[in-house]
Amino acid sequence: MYEVWNEFQITPLFNYIREKAREAGLYPENAKNKESIQLFLDHELLEDRAIRVGAIQYEGINSTQLEPNLVNWRFDRRLLPDDLRTELEAILAFRRDTNAGLNINLNAQSIAFKFEELTEQSKEAIEQIVGVISKYVKRKKEA
């Protein structure tokens, strides 16, 4: 559907989050579509098998809106190690686990952080997420 990544107004935010995910120790891989990137934990941390833990994706594209208005950085609860899941669930800023209802839903499939623009507040939340992931990766490497 989309030829290049850099065609949306919100793309700099998407790229910023992708680089921060990489900085934290996650491995971004392009998905089959241009709207999302899958995120993996290092296979060396998990007994020689990479595990997909989440994704970064554009949101807001539909039949009437051709430009995304959000970047969703989400983590699949079922695929996260327990200690990492618990620490990510403790971050409340920019949380929207579901599209309707309460922003924080511990029964939702994903722990989701949704960003509309790159502001000081969103940068702080992103750094908090990066800190949790970095700490987890460091602990696993030292174990």
Hey, where are the domains in the chain?
A: 11-142
Judged on CB neighbours under 10 Å (0-12, 13-18, 19+), 112 is buried
Query: Would you state the pLDDT for residue 38?
Result: 85
pLDDT-based confidence at 1, cuts 50/70/90?
very low
pLDDT at 119: 95
pLDDT confidence of 116, banded at 50, 70, 90?
very high
Q: Which of 45-49, 65-69, 95-99, 114-118 has the highest mean pLDDT?
A: 114-118
Q: How high is the mean pLDDT of the chain?
A: 85
Options 3.90.1150, 1.10.340, 1.10.3470, 1.10.10; CATH of 11-142: 3.90.1150
pLDDT confidence tier of residue 27, bands split at 50, 70 and 90: confident
Percent pLDDT > 90 in the chain is: 52
Apex 11 CA angle, 91 and 96, nearest 5: 30
How far apart CA 118 and CA 128 sit, in angstroms, is 14
CA quadruple 92, 97, 102, 106: dihedral sign: negative
Is 120 exposed, middle or buried, given 0-12, 13-18 or 19+ CB atoms closer than 10 A? exposed
